[in-house]
Chain A
Amino acid sequence: MDTTRPATARDAAEFGLKPDEWQRIVASLDRVPNLTELGIFSVMWSEHCSYKSSKKHLMGLPTSGPRVIHGPGENAGVVDIGNGDAVVFKIESHNHPSFIEPYQGAATGVGGIMRDVFTMGARPIANLNALRFGDPSHPRTKSLMAGVVAGIGGYGNSFGVPTVGGETQFHRAYNGNILVNAMCVGIARTDRIFTAAASGIGSTVMYLGAKTGRDGIHGATMASAEFTEDADAKRPTVQVGDPFTEKLLLEACLELMATGAIIAIQDMGAAGLTSSSVEMAGKGGLGISLDLSSVPTREAGMTGYEIMLSESQERMLVILKPGREAEAQAIFGKWELDCVAIGTITDTGRIVLHHGGVTVCDLPLEPLIHQAPLYDRPWVPTPPRAVLEAGVQPEPLLASLTKLLSSPDGASKRWIWEQYDHLIGGNTIRRPGGDAAVVRLDDGPKGLAITTDCNPHYCLADPVLGGMQAVAECYRNLSAVGAEPLALTDNLNFGNPERPEIMGQIVGCLQGIGQAALVLGTPIVSGNVSLYNETSGQAILPTPVVGAVGLLPDVAVAGTSALSAPGLTLMLVGKTSGWLGASAYARTILGTEDGAPPPVDPQVELRHGTFVRSLVRDQLIAAAHDLAEGGLLVALAEMCLAGGMGASIALPDGPAHAIAFGEDQGRYLIATAAPDAVIARCNGVPLVRLGTSGGDALTVTGHGSTSVAALRAAHDGWLPAFMDAG
């Protein structure tokens, strides 16, 4: 293929550009681009890189705050946590590649997000992942899940970062389009944060890390289109990961960063060398000139087009201070990685690429970065649903509890997280399976609490409320371990934005996330948008996953959900009305996904969260757990399972099944040896005394009793049995 021949409208269509976008490119250049140039435009203007459908609505999110050092727009968000330390974090999707090739798709998703974090100068200290798979009965669900989990583990375990938390759900809407969202959290010094903006005309552009191969070409474009039945034909667009090289790259980069030789650094992620070079020069308001013949390649005969669009992993682009090249080469030599000068920073405002003595690209940066079309796509609001009446209780309460605990969404995800090294580093204070994970910073006493949350059923029923709830649940998970919520990252997974009802979901969820984040004082500092999650016209449930980070001044007093002592008083924080619409109970027991989801009031969340956090920090409670899917009784069972301890409670008044399993928001279950001290503190926060801990069974007055051992068998049993069955 001659990649320097003039491109045509047909090429543009093949690269995923719309006819008007093609015309826009020709108009902005005042000429027809060649094929290499068109390739560069197509990835820079892809949904993945340009946010062209979502940008208008992303602008409404709160992104700043007193602790925010870098908000969206950098590789990851950076938040000040005191004493000169900063937490650096982001969540990112690798949905399409993981569906095509689950192991490598998920592995490179983890690799990519860790690179985003260490590019900023941070050492990764924890990973999380939010996963959505199709219905368990779908023929591909099992193999996709096995591959994704092995891929996440394979990369993170080898690299040596603990994978400490996450979430996994199943629904038929993900049958043809699974979600793999990976979050990474790192720690840096506030005075040693690195960004991508180039400076210094004439500075050397160095290529670091692994060699460039023919993998992942046009991955960003693939991630910006719907799937059809021929998804398997796109396997060559999936990259292949090498965690061993990435670990060397991390150590080499941190060592080079410590020398002070670096002006700017950018990882080669989506759209590889194209987006990294364009962004570095563009952010600095300068130009860049590269000789592609110098780029280390894995195979001979690669064209300039292939080199620019490859998404080979474990590569970095760095701009060095003059005269520091030898220093960089010595460090990278020690780690046995390539470190090659491939170009210079110019003042031309253009990206100029030479290959074998021929100029294969000469484009102005301005249109590449700033003239991508911004769409104000038409949207319709999601029609409101009627409230689901509680109706008649269809079966005994404890039978429902067992079913919920052993349902695909409610069952223990131990089978997954035991495949992740969640202990490496020796700082995992709260392991997977509880509310938020807690990771100590170095020798402490400070630590971070980390969580990811989203209820796609709520988002489908009422996008605004669903967006608010995702933020509220993060807030509750962090508060339950005593952490002060700091900031958020979001991974916005939706269907095709060209459909007004899907666009309505995007607009609504963003509005809800923004509203709740504003009230709760948790700005969104980084994120990722993944659209076109559809296969053959079937869209996923709207799934705006929110990741959150909170600060603990002393991990020795981190809260726990484990009920591990007898004789504690169990109290419910928050109001219970028995809201069953869009609940796990309605889906699993009543057989309906219908109904309006429970209302969310961020002011109430703020008040109740602050109350519970103060109880944890002052050690007035022995355990605390956020109430979410499955409501009160599921939360109590989870506390019993975590601590291996029984409990006896009486339910508050109302229809028992709705009170037991309703998903009213703003609630926590707490266990205390000092109930009077807790009551004295409540200051108007609703508190209901439910019963006490003790024994080896869970007993509900008037509804019988079930042993903790039986609950454990149900809870732990489903996933291994499902995965091991033929």
Chain B
Amino acid sequence: MRAAIVVFPGTNRERDAARALARAGATPVMVWHKDTDLPPADLIVLPGGFAFGDYLRTGAIAAHSPVMREVVAAAGRGVLVLGMCNGFQILCEAGLLPGVLMRNTSLKFVCRSVTLEVAATDTPFTRRYTVGQTLDVPVAHGEGNWQGDDATVAALEAGNRIIFRYADARTVNGSLGEIAGSCSVNRRVLGLMPHPENAVDPLTGSTDGAALFQAAVEAA
């Protein structure tokens, strides 16, 4: 299974993503953002980081990078797309997923383990989980506060497209409805703020993220 990891200037969790994918049995390839051809891939990953320094608005410049036209086209063909953290922000900016990620209500960057509830398992990424299962997965972001208007939220809920919600005693970032991740209408594009790629190794803490990558590899 071939996974293409898109690298923008300022991307910084591409190695973490590659390692999690390799552990799950995928063969990751890095793709530079200026490339206009994506190599043939069964899964496209937009990793975490601060693409283009996040200077305009997180993900806003990256969403207009040449490679993103290819990503949008591939998503249209049904290729699996996974965006984590900055990758989720870029997917929202590129219009592949609804909503917007604003600054955390604390106005501070937050890095810690959070409790994540799996809200839907009928996606290629979450089939190995059960609905209502809670995962121990870290977050590391300053702008993870998901917001959308009523119509957007209603559409997500009606389509069962909210995939992860925070289930922590302490609010993580102020997201509307504690939304931590959502998927596309065809359920093959998934974006989430937390870092399942940093929860795949017992020596570094939790392994609850591993099943997400295993499921994606099986699905591709």
- Cβ–Cβ contact B109 & A160, under 8 A: no
Task: State which of A244, A431, A444 has its C-beta within 8 Å of the C-beta of B50.
Answer: A244
Q: Which residues of B contact A556 (CB under 8 A)?
A: 203
CB-nearest residue of chain A to B19:
A426
Q: Which residues of A contact B12 (CB under 8 A)?
A: 158-160, 247, 424
User: Given the known A-B contacts A419-B111, A422-B111, are A244 and B53 also in contact in the complex, defined by CB atoms under 8 Å?
Assistant: yes
- Cβ–Cβ contact B110 & A248, under 8 A: no
- Cβ–Cβ contact B112 & A418, under 8 A: yes
* In the assembled complex, B54 has its CB within 8 A of some CB on chain A: yes
* In the assembled complex, A428 has its CB within 8 A of some CB on chain B: yes
* In the assembled complex, A555 has its CB within 8 A of some CB on chain B: yes
Q: Which residues of A contact B195 (CB under 8 A)?
A: 423
- Cβ–Cβ contact A158 & B50, under 8 A: yes
- Cβ–Cβ contact A421 & B109, under 8 A: yes
* In the assembled complex, B177 has its CB within 8 A of some CB on chain A: no
Cα distance, A335 to B10, chains bound together (Å): 11
Q: Which residues of B contact A423 (CB under 8 A)?
A: 111, 138, 140, 195, 198, 204
User: Given the known A-B contacts A244-B53, A424-B16, A427-B204, are A158 and B112 also in contact in the complex, defined by CB atoms under 8 Å?
Assistant: no
Q: Which residues of B contact A440 (CB under 8 A)?
A: 203-204
Q: Which residues of A contact B112 (CB under 8 A)?
A: 418
Give the residue among A153, A244, A248, A556 with the most B Cβ atoms within 10 A: A244
* A-B contacts, CB under 8 A, total: 83
Q: Which residues of A contact B111 (CB under 8 A)?
A: 157, 417-423
- Cβ–Cβ contact B53 & A153, under 8 A: no
Tally of A interface residues using CB under 8 Å:
33
* In the assembled complex, B201 has its CB within 8 A of some CB on chain A: yes
CB-nearest residue of chain A to B107:
A150
User: Given the known A-B contacts A157-B109, A421-B111, A421-B140, are A426 and B54 also in contact in the complex, defined by CB atoms under 8 Å?
Assistant: no
* In the assembled complex, A364 has its CB within 8 A of some CB on chain B: no
- Cβ–Cβ contact A244 & B138, under 8 A: no
Task: State which of A153, A244, A419 has its C-beta within 8 Å of the C-beta of B52.
Answer: A244
Q: How large is the interface on B (under 10, 10 to 19, 20 to 34, 35 or more residues)?
A: 20 to 34
* In the assembled complex, A606 has its CB within 8 A of some CB on chain B: no
* In the assembled complex, A429 has its CB within 8 A of some CB on chain B: yes
- Interface residue ranges of B171-220 to A (CB < 8 Å): 195, 197-198, 200-201, 203-205
* In the assembled complex, B128 has its CB within 8 A of some CB on chain A: no
The contact string, 1 if C-beta is below 8 Å from chain A, for chain B 107-119, is 0111110000000
The contact string, 1 if C-beta is below 8 Å from chain B, for chain A 19-53, is 00000000000000000000000000000000000
- Cβ–Cβ contact A248 & B9, under 8 A: yes
Cα distance, A429 to B203, chains bound together (Å): 6
CB-nearest residue of chain A to B49:
A160
Q: Which residues of B contact A154 (CB under 8 A)?
A: 109
- Cβ–Cβ contact A336 & B9, under 8 A: yes
Q: Which residues of B contact A150 (CB under 8 A)?
A: 108-109
Q: Which residues of B contact A444 (CB under 8 A)?
A: 203
The contact string, 1 if C-beta is below 8 Å from chain A, for chain B 93-133, is 00000000000000011111000000000000000000000
Q: Shortest beta-carbon distance, B51 to chain A, in Å?
A: 9
Cα distance, A236 to B71, chains bound together (Å): 44
* In the assembled complex, A425 has its CB within 8 A of some CB on chain B: yes
CB-nearest residue of chain A to B7:
A251
* In the assembled complex, A409 has its CB within 8 A of some CB on chain B: no
Cα distance, A444 to B195, chains bound together (Å): 21
* In the assembled complex, B165 has its CB within 8 A of some CB on chain A: no
Cα distance, A219 to B108, chains bound together (Å): 29
Cα distance, A279 to B12, chains bound together (Å): 32
Cα distance, A423 to B198, chains bound together (Å): 7
Q: Shortest beta-carbon distance, B207 to chain A, in Å?
A: 12
Task: State which of B13, B15, B108 has its C-beta within 8 Å of the C-beta of A419.
Answer: B108
Q: Which residues of B contact A593 (CB under 8 A)?
A: none
Task: State which of B15, B109, B203 has its C-beta within 8 Å of the C-beta of A555.
Answer: B203
Q: Shortest beta-carbon distance, B121 to chain A, in Å?
A: 25
**Can you identify 16 A-B contacts, CB atoms within 8 angstroms?**
A157-B140, A158-B10, A160-B12, A160-B49, A242-B53, A244-B10, A244-B50, A244-B52, A418-B112, A421-B140, A423-B204, A424-B12, A424-B13, A425-B15, A426-B197, A440-B203
Chain A residues engaging chain B, CB cutoff 8 angstroms: 150, 153-154, 157-160, 242-245, 247-248, 335-336, 417-429, 431, 440, 444, 555-556
